[in-house]
Chain A
């Protein structure tokens, strides 16, 4: 175990800002991108369903 306390963990030996700055942005982007791609998939299915129901209404 490297850290005596939670505050020592967050301080990262004085490099906390750099370490958490890099991990924070990485975590943010790797959460936002999955959300965006799933939203795009849902939208594509919804738009396709709209086309399908439009075809049914015409026939």
Chain B
């Protein structure tokens, strides 16, 4: 190796992350589009109509992936916020901030698609059931985190306060996940279990998993683009950003 400085944490430098992420983002958008087309094709044209729920069940292809992403992104956000706090790692805190709006969007979508699925199948848009209530609390945690980090002017102190909130709030994620087991809920149990065979037809399962990967690629693309914007905003006065923007400005 002729570059001894290249280590695992090389990309923890915001300038290097900016370039690496810039290269990766178009591929994540392309993957999102390709996977969405494939997932929706299987979901609408290959997977059969459900025997009990009719075609209303097709909401599952976006409902479950959105709900999974809402929980996964929260844990990833809390993790990077914690890393940024514990090790004073600037980029980790920026990633945490970049995740929050995308996580909040997926949480809202999980609630919204759940409501319009609940109406025809349960007869109600909303019930104060453990699963729905804990997912609503997740939305408030995301919004609280966003409001908190934006309310404190000192950027690093805001990151630290946000990290504390994110880490304490992460206790809610296992509550959401296990709510259908711990309490008698109207919401059905887990669709996919590590210990049991899937309870749904293979084509339905395939469509749902492909859509999950599509949302996952989407989250990477959106979060990385937002992180790049935050990097530029915070480092606008540094030499490498000046280098980057030189000649971009046309008077």
Chain A positions near chain B (C-beta within 8 angstroms): 1-3, 9, 12-15, 18-19, 21-23, 25-26, 29-30, 33-34, 37-38, 40-41, 43-53, 55
A12 to chain B, nearest CB (A): 4
CA distance A23 to B116 in the complex (A): 10
User: Size range of the interface on B?
Assistant: 35 or more
Chain B positions near chain A (C-beta within 8 angstroms): 29, 44-45, 47-49, 54-56, 58-59, 62-63, 66, 101-102, 105, 108-109, 112-113, 116-117, 119-120, 218, 221-222, 225-226, 228-230, 232-233, 236-237, 241-242, 244-246, 248-249, 251
The answer to whether B245 and A49 have CB atoms under 8 Å apart is yes
Q: Taking CB as reference atom, which chain A residue is nearest B225? A: A37
Q: Which residues of B contact A25 (CB under 8 A)?
A: 109, 112-113
Instruction: Tell me whether chain A's interface is mostly helix, strand or loop, or mixed.
Output: helix
Q: Which residues of A contact B58 (CB under 8 A)?
A: 12, 19
Contact of B232 among A2, A15, A26, A45 (CB under 8 A): A45
B188 to chain A, nearest CB (A): 17
The answer to whether B48 and A2 have CB atoms under 8 Å apart is yes
The answer to whether B221 and A19 have CB atoms under 8 Å apart is no
Additional A-B contact list (17), CB under 8 Å, known A19-B55, A34-B225, A52-B241: A2-B44, A9-B44, A12-B55, A14-B54, A18-B56, A22-B113, A23-B62, A26-B113, A33-B101, A33-B102, A34-B29, A34-B222, A41-B228, A44-B232, A44-B233, A48-B236, A52-B249
Q: Which residues of A contact B228 (CB under 8 A)?
A: 41
CA distance A43 to B236 in the complex (A): 12
The answer to whether A13 and B54 have CB atoms under 8 Å apart is yes
